[in-house]
Structure 1
Amino acid sequence: MNATILHESRGRIRFRLRQKQMTLAQADLLEAWIQGKSWCRQVTVHERTCCVILYYDGTRQAVLNEIRHFSWQEAERTTALPAHSSRALNREFEEKLVAKVVCKAACTLFLPSPLRIARILWHMIPFVRRGLHCLLRRRIKVELLDALSISISACRRDFGTAGMVMFLLEVGELLEEWTRKKSVADLARCMSLNVDRVWLRTAQGEVLVPVSQIQPGDAVVVRAGGIIPVDGLVLEGEVTVNQASLTGESIPVPKRPGGAVYAGTVVEEGECVLEVKQASGQSRYDQIVHMIEQSEQMKSEAESKAANLADKLVPYTFAGSLLSFALTRNVARALSVLMVDFSCALKLAMPLAVLSAMREAGRAHITVKGGKFLEAVAAADTIVFDKTGTLTRACPRVAQVVPFGGKEEAEMLRLAACLEEHFPHSMANAVVEEAKRRGLRHEEYHSKVEYLVAHGIASTVDGERVLIGSAHFVFEDEGCVIPEGEQERFDALPPEYSHLYLAVGGQLAAVICISDPLREEAKEVLSALRTLGITSTVMLTGDSYRTAAAIAAQVGVDDFRAGVLPADKAEYVARLRREGHTVLMVGDGINDSPALSEADAGIAISDGAAIAREIADITIAADSLWELVELRRIAMALMARIHSNYRFVIGFNGTLIALGVAGVLPPATSATLHNLSTLGVSLRSMSRLTTQTQPVQNNNLQNG
C-alpha cells in the first residue's frame, strides 16, 4: 500500500492512501482487513478523502510493516466482507436528504406560483390518504392531525405553510428511517458471529480450519457447548440446540438427521455433523436485524411507555384544537394547535436514544441485545460474579503437571490438550496453550468426546476410558482411585492452584495445576461499581471454600458461595430476585448459562463458552472488567437522557400549544418550531452519552 502519514500520536495514526478515489467496496474491504488484525483497537476509513484513522496496540513499526504489505488482491481473498454495508446505507440516505433539500429550494426559488401550488396539492395526496385511512378505521393518530393541518392550510390558501409542514415531516421521516436503519445495522454487526475456526470432517479425519475456507457441501462437526458457525442440515448425530438468540425459544430444540440448523445457535447437548448450506453465515445478519426490529420483548419499559403515552396524547391535541376553535372562532389558532403534537418526538426520540446507547456500548466492545437490558443495568443493585475467567484472569496458565501411576508428564499434558480443545473455556484454553508452548502435538486418536456440564470430559483412548475434570466428577461420580502408594504425593499438591484431574482406566493419571490469578483491576472495578449505586457484590464458584475465601478477600466482594453447581447458581440468582433485588449475573462458562438466563440481565465474557455468549443479554470483551463500569455509566446516562427528553417534549410542545391558543404563534411558526424541536431532541438522543478525546500530533512518513 502506498500511503502518507498525516498525523500521529501514541497508539493512534492517521494516513492517506495515494490514490485519487476509493470505492465504497474498497473502503469496506480495507476497514474489515485492518479490523481483523490483532493490533487494531479501532479504525475508521473515509472513502471520500481516502484517509484512515487507526488506534492500535503493540509496536508502531509492526503495524506500519503490515500496512505497507497490504494489497487489494490479497485482502479480497482472505477477508470476509459484511453482508450489508453501513457505508452504502449512509451514502444512500445522504443523497436522498441532499436531493430533498435541493428540490425544495429549487421549487421555492424558480417555480412560478401556479406550478408551485399545483406541486403542493399533488404532494398532499399521500398525507390526506393516510389521514382518511385513520379516520375510516376510527383511530385518532398523528397521521390524522398531519392531514387536517395540511388540508386546512391549503383550504385557507396558505400554501406556503402547507408546503413547509410537508417538507419538515418528510425530512423528519427520512432522518428517523436513516438513524434507525443505521443503528440497527451497527447493532446487528456487533451481534453477528465471531467464529474463526471450525472442525471440518475430511477423509483423513477432523481438521481445524478457518471458517472462511468452508464451502457449501462441506461437513462440519459441532459438539456440546459449541456455536453453529453456518446454516446447514444435520447429517449425523442427535443434538439439542439453543435457538433463543434467534427465535426467543426458552427450551432447547432437538435436531435429528435432516433437521435444519442456523448460524449463531448453540449445541447444548450431544454432537453432530452438519452439511453446510450457506458457508458465509451472512444470513445471521438478516435474522438479527429481523429480531431487533420485530421483537417487542427487547424494548425497554421507557420505550413502551413513550409509545403508549404518544398515542394517548393525540386525541387530547385534537380536542384542544376543537376547543380553541369553539372558544375563539379563529381557524388560525385552532390550526396552530393541530400543528403541534407530542407523538412525533416521543415515538422517535426514545427509541433513538436506546439504539444510540446500544451503538455507543458497541464502540466500547459491549454488545447489548435490547433496550430493556440497559434499563436493567441502570436499575441493578446487585451483581453476581462467577470466579474463574471472570474475576480471575480470562487466560489462566498451567503452572505444573503432576503425573501419577508412572505416567509421563508430557504424554499426560498431550492427552489432556487433545480432549480440552473441543470445549473452549478459560481453563481448557490454558491446557491447550501449554501443550502448544511445549511443542506437543496432539493428534486426534481418541473416540467420541462427551462433555458433562459442570463436571468434565469423557472419552476412550486405546480401549480405556479417559476422564478430565473436577475432583467431584473424577473421584465421586466416576469412582476413580489414586494409584497405590501415591496418596502422600496427592495430598502434597500445591493448594494455591486450581486443579484439573486426569484419569485413565479408572486410575488418576495426572493432576494439572492451573494458576488463575486475580484480575488486576477487579478490586477497583467493584469499588467503582459501588460508587455508581451497586449495593451488593457476590462471587459464586465451584472451587473449594478455601480457594473461594482467599479470592473473595482479595477482590473485596460482599459475599461468596463455594462449591456451587450450575443449578445452585441459578437458584441463588432467582432467590435474590424474589427478594426484590435487580440482579446482574457475570459469567463466561457453560456452567454459568442457567444463572445468566435467570438474572434480570446476564453478562457474558466474550472469549468464554459460545453458549454463555448466546444466552447472555450483554457481552463484554475479555480484556478488562472496566467495561462493566462503562456499561453502568452508559445505562444510567441513557435513563437520565430519556427522562430529560420526556420533560423537554412535554414542556416545549405544551408551551407551543398554549401560545397557539393565545394567538401569539401563527400556524406556520408552530409547525416549524414543533418539527425543529422534534429534530433537535432526536439529534440529541443520537449524540454520545460519554465523551472521549484522543491526543493528536503531527508527523509524516511515506511508504517506500
Structure 2
Amino acid sequence: MPPRCQGGTAAAGDETAAVQPTIDYGERFKYPVLALGISVVATPLEWPFAPAVVGIVLARAAFPLWKRTLANLKRTGRPNADLLDSLWVLVHGATGEALAPALAICLTETARVLRDLTAITGERRKPDRVPNRQYWIERKGRRRLVLAKDLRAGDQVILGSGDRVPGDGVVVGGDGLIDGHDLLGGARLVPRGVSDEVYAASLLTQGCLVVEMRRLGAETRMAQLAETIEERSWKETRIGNYMEEIGNRAVLPAIGASALVFAATANLSRAMAPLQLDFAQGIGISAPVPVLASLHHAARNRILIRSGHALERLAKVDAVVFDKTGTLTERGVEVGALETSLSSVSEAELLYWAASAGRYVLLPFSAALVSHAETRGVALTASDPLDYSDSGVLARVDGAEIIVGTFQFLASRGIPVDAGYHRRHDGVILNRSIRYVVRDREVLGAIFFSNALRRESAVTIETLRRMGIACYLLTGDTSKSANAVAYQLGIRPGCTFAEASPEHKVEVLRRLRRKHDAVAYVGDGVNDAPAMSRADVAVSFQQATDLARETADVVLLDDGLLGLCYGIETAREAMRLVHRNIVAVTAANIAVVAGGIFFDLSTVGAVVVNNGAALLACLNGMRPLYSGERRDPEIERTTLRDDEGLLGIPWRKRGRAGVDGILGGHSGHAGPA
C-alpha cells in the first residue's frame, strides 16, 4: 500500500493553444452587401419590381438584427439598443428608402466582424489545465517520479494539498477536499476518500490522496467537456461595458422623443433621428476591441491576463503586495547552518530526521535538505508524509512523528518555540529562514536556509515606484529575514510585514484595500492562495503551485517579475483606448441625433457619421495587435542597497509595526529599510 499522502510542485508547465474558430465572411456579408448593391443599382433605374426586390433582400439582411432584438426581449424583458436599430431599419425600409439601412447594416456588420476577428486573433495561449509537471507515483510496487505525460492507467499518483489531479481515477488512500471548479463552473469543495472518484483538472485543496489513474489525456471527463465548449468559449472573452447599460436605459426615452418630434414637425426624417441614439451598440462593439487586442498582445509577450475584467482591475492597481520566498527571492534554497538544541543530538542526526521527513515532498526546502544530506553522506530512510505546505512538513519516520517547519507551523500544532531565540537569532539576518526540527513534540534544533534575491526584483520595485505604485512586503517569514530583503530592495519599514499567517495576510490585504484603489498580490505558494483570492488582482507564475496559478488573475509565463510592470502598463493603455472609443462613439451619436432633429441631416450622412465612427473606433482599438515586442528595463544591479551594514543595524531600536501593528497588536515585526 502506498504512503498516505504525497504531492509536488510544478516542474514544467506546458501550454496549449486553443483551437480558434474562423469567421464565415460569405455568410455574414452575403445579404448585407447584396442589399447595398441592389439599392445602389436598382433603385435609381426605377424598375417595376425594384422596390419589392430591394425590400425582400433588405429584410433578409436585417433578419439577424431583428432576431437578436426579439431574443433579448424574450430573455430579459427589457429593450436594448438593437430595438432602436430594428425600428430605424424597419421604418426606412417600409418607406422605400433602402440605401441608408443597407449601408448601416454593412458598416455595423463590418465592425462586429472586426471585434470577433480580434477575439479570434487574441485567443490566448493558456497554461494547460493539467500541466506537464512531475508527480510521485507507485508503479509495480516501486515509487518513482514521472511527468504527467508519462502517466499510465493503473498508476497510483500521490497528491498533497494544492496539487492538481492529472487524470480521472479512484481514491485508494487518504482523504481530502477537492475543488472541482473547472468541471462545475464554480468553486465547489467536496470531500473525497477511499473508493470515491476524482477527475482531471480538479484541485486538492486540503488533505492527502492516493489516486489510481483510470483515464488520462483525451479520455478524461475534462477533455470531453472542453470539446463541447471550445467552439463558444472564445466568444465569452468580450466584456460588457459600463456605458452599455446607460445606453440601453435611453432606448425608451429615445422612442418617446421620436414620437414627440414627429408630432411637432410631421417630418418623418427628423422623427427618425432620435432612433439613432444607439451609442450602447456602438460602444458594445468598439469598446471590447482594445481589451481583446491587449489580452492577445500581453499573451504574446508572455503575460497571461485571464479576462477583460482582470485587465480593467490591473489598470487601476496603485499598490502591489509581494510575498518574499519564491517571489522576490529565488525558489531554490540552500542550507546554511544546523544548530541542535539537545546535546544528545548531533548535526548528522538532526539532518537525518529532517531530510527523511521531506524526502518525498517536492517543496524547495525539502529538496534542499535531501540534497544537503546526500552531499554530507547522510543515509536517509523512507517516510510517510501526513501533511505539508509551504511552511512545513509533518511525517512519520521510523515510527516517530517528525515536524520540520516554521515558527507558525509549529505554533499551529501547539508546539512551543522560544520566541526570543526565534526573533533575535543572527541566522535570520541576511535573508536566512528558519525551519525547526521536532521529534515526537520535542524540539531537536533548527536549520537555516538562504534564498537569493531574484535578479529582477530591485528593478521591478524601482519601476513600479516610478509608475506611482506603492510596494509592500508581506511574508510569513521572520522579521529579520523580511527586513533583510526589504532593506536591500528599498521597501520602506512601514510597508514591511513579517511573521504573517495566511489568515493575517488576508486581514492585511483587507486593510490595504481601504487605503488604495486597487491592490495586487504576488505569490506562488499554497499559503498565498487565501490572500490572492482577497486581492483586487492576484498575480502568480507559470512555475508556481497549481493552486496559486489557478487563483491568479495574471500569470507571468516567463516566471519573471518584470512582466508585472509591462502588464500594468499594457492594461493602462488598453483602458485609455477604451475611454477614447467611448468618447468618439458617443460624440458621433449625439451629433447625428442633433443634426437630424435640428438640421434635417440626410439619413446616408447620418449613417456614415454614426456607424463610421464605430468602425473607426474598432480599427483604433486594434492598435495593440501591431505593437512592438516587450522591452524590459536593463538589470544593472540586483539590489538597491548592499548588505554590508545589515549586521550592524540596531534592529530593536529601528523596529516598525508589523502584522500585529496593523491589526491592532503590540509587537513590532518590521525593521529598517
Q: Which moved more, 1:586-595 or 1:391-400?
A: 391-400
* Structure 2 match to 1:282: 223
> What amino acid is aligned across from residue 532 of structure 2 in structure 1?
L
* Structure 1 match to 2:586: 650
User: Does the 8 A contact of 1:191 with 1:288 survive in 2?
Assistant: no
CA shift digits 1:452-473 (9 cap, x unpaired): 4464112223323333222554
Q: Relative to structure 1, is the Cα distance of residues 434 and 588 closer, same or farther in structure 2, using a 3 angstrom cutoff?
A: farther
3-state SS of paired residue (2:540)? strand
User: Does the 8 A contact of 2:389 with 2:526 survive in 1?
Assistant: yes
* Structure 1 match to 2:504: 568
How far apart are residue 655 of structure 1 and its match? 0.9
* Structure 2 match to 1:43: none
Distance, in Å, in 2 between the alignment partners of 1:621 and 1:309 is 38
User: Does the 8 A contact of 2:138 with 2:144 survive in 1?
Assistant: yes
* Structure 2 match to 1:532: 467
How far apart are residue 596 of structure 1 and its match? 1.4
Give the total of aligned pairs: 600
1:533-682 alignment runs, 5 A limit? 533-534=468-469, 536-558=470-492, 559-578=495-514, 582-621=518-557, 623-663=559-599, 665-682=601-618
User: Does the 8 A contact of 2:15 with 2:128 survive in 1?
Assistant: no
Q: Relative to structure 1, is the Cα distance of residues 251 and 161 closer, same or farther in structure 2, using a 3 angstrom cutoff?
A: closer
Distance, in Å, in 1 between the alignment partners of 2:507 and 2:628 is 40
Find out whether 1:195 has 2:132 as its counterpart. yes
* Structure 2 match to 1:348: 285
> What amino acid is aligned across from residue 383 of structure 1 in structure 2?
V
- Of 81, 84, 105, which aligns to 1:142? 81
Question: Percentage identity across aligned positions?
Answer: 24
1:291-370 alignment runs, 5 A limit? 303-339=240-276, 341-370=278-307
3-state SS of paired residue (1:237)? strand
1:373-384 alignment runs, 5 A limit? 373-384=310-321
Q: Relative to structure 1, is the Cα distance of residues 553 and 286 closer, same or farther in structure 2, using a 3 angstrom cutoff?
A: farther
Distance, in Å, in 2 between the alignment partners of 1:124 and 1:384 is 52
User: Does the 8 A contact of 1:401 with 1:409 survive in 2?
Assistant: no
* Structure 2 match to 1:76: none
> What amino acid is aligned across from residue 647 of structure 1 in structure 2?
V
Distance, in Å, in 1 between the alignment partners of 2:96 and 2:408 is 85
How far apart are residue 249 of structure 1 and its match? 5.2
3-state SS of paired residue (2:288)? helix
* Structure 2 match to 1:60: none
Distance, in Å, in 1 between the alignment partners of 2:232 and 2:358 is 36
* Structure 1 match to 2:331: 394
1:117-136 alignment runs, 5 A limit? 117=54, 118-128=56-66
CA shift digits 1:166-196 (9 cap, x unpaired): 333433444444444554x426x35744332
How far apart are residue 673 of structure 1 and its match? 3.2
3-state SS of paired residue (1:688)? helix
Distance, in Å, in 2 between the alignment partners of 1:517 and 1:194 is 27
Structure 2 gap ranges (5+): 1-10, 632-673
Find out whether 1:269 has 2:269 as its counterpart. no
> What amino acid is aligned across from residue 328 of structure 1 in structure 2?
T
* Structure 2 match to 1:50: none
3-state SS of paired residue (2:358)? helix
User: Does the 8 A contact of 1:227 with 1:266 survive in 2?
Assistant: yes
CA shift digits 1:346-374 (9 cap, x unpaired): 22233333333333332333333333333
Distance, in Å, in 1 between the alignment partners of 2:612 and 2:276 is 12
How far apart are residue 311 of structure 1 and its match? 0.9
CA shift digits 1:562-611 (9 cap, x unpaired): 22222121122222234566322221222222221222222223322222
> What amino acid is aligned across from residue 382 of structure 2 in structure 1?
Y
CA shift digits 1:302-330 (9 cap, x unpaired): x4522311211223433343344334323
* Structure 2 match to 1:521: 456
CA shift digits 1:606-631 (9 cap, x unpaired): 32222222223332246322122112
User: Does the 8 A contact of 2:518 with 2:536 survive in 1?
Assistant: yes
* Structure 1 match to 2:148: 211
Which TM-score applies when normalising by structure 1?
0.72
Q: Relative to structure 1, is the Cα distance of residues 453 and 219 closer, same or farther in structure 2, using a 3 angstrom cutoff?
A: closer
* Structure 1 match to 2:403: 467
- Of 373, 384, 394, which aligns to 1:458? 394
* Structure 2 match to 1:220: 157
CA shift digits 1:187-238 (9 cap, x unpaired): 6x35744332333432223432222233556543321121223344544432
3-state SS of paired residue (2:355)? helix
How far apart are residue 532 of structure 1 and its match? 1.9
How far apart are residue 343 of structure 1 and its match? 1.9
User: Does the 8 A contact of 2:177 with 2:204 survive in 1?
Assistant: yes
How far apart are residue 388 of structure 1 and its match? 0.9
> What amino acid is aligned across from residue 616 of structure 2 in structure 1?
G
* Structure 2 match to 1:45: none
* Structure 2 match to 1:171: 110
Distance, in Å, in 1 between the alignment partners of 2:560 and 2:77 is 55
How far apart are residue 668 of structure 1 and its match? 2.6
* Structure 1 match to 2:620: 684
Distance, in Å, in 2 between the alignment partners of 1:690 and 1:405 is 68
Distance, in Å, in 1 between the alignment partners of 2:15 and 2:486 is 43
Distance, in Å, in 2 between the alignment partners of 1:122 and 1:431 is 73
How far apart are residue 478 of structure 1 and its match? 7.3
Distance, in Å, in 2 between the alignment partners of 1:253 and 1:683 is 47
> What amino acid is aligned across from residue 349 of structure 1 in structure 2?
S
Q: Which moved more, 1:413-422 or 1:337-346?
A: 413-422
CA shift digits 1:456-512 (9 cap, x unpaired): 112223323333222554699575999xxxx9xx98968543233445566777855
Distance, in Å, in 2 between the alignment partners of 1:675 and 1:605 is 42
* Structure 1 match to 2:670: none
Distance, in Å, in 1 between the alignment partners of 2:571 and 2:71 is 39
Distance, in Å, in 2 between the alignment partners of 1:413 and 1:292 is 51
User: Does the 8 A contact of 1:355 with 1:371 survive in 2?
Assistant: yes
1:231-270 alignment runs, 5 A limit? 231-243=168-180, 252-257=189-194, 259-270=196-207
3-state SS of paired residue (1:268)? strand
How far apart are residue 161 of structure 1 and its match? 3.0
3-state SS of paired residue (1:593)? helix
3-state SS of paired residue (2:287)? helix
* Structure 2 match to 1:701: none
User: Does the 8 A contact of 1:234 with 1:255 survive in 2?
Assistant: yes
Distance, in Å, in 1 between the alignment partners of 2:380 and 2:225 is 33
3-state SS of paired residue (2:124)? helix
How far apart are residue 640 of structure 1 and its match? 2.2
* Structure 1 match to 2:648: none
* Structure 2 match to 1:372: 309
User: Does the 8 A contact of 2:176 with 2:207 survive in 1?
Assistant: yes
- Of 91, 97, 104, which aligns to 1:158? 97
Structure 1 gap ranges (5+): 1-36, 41-78, 696-704
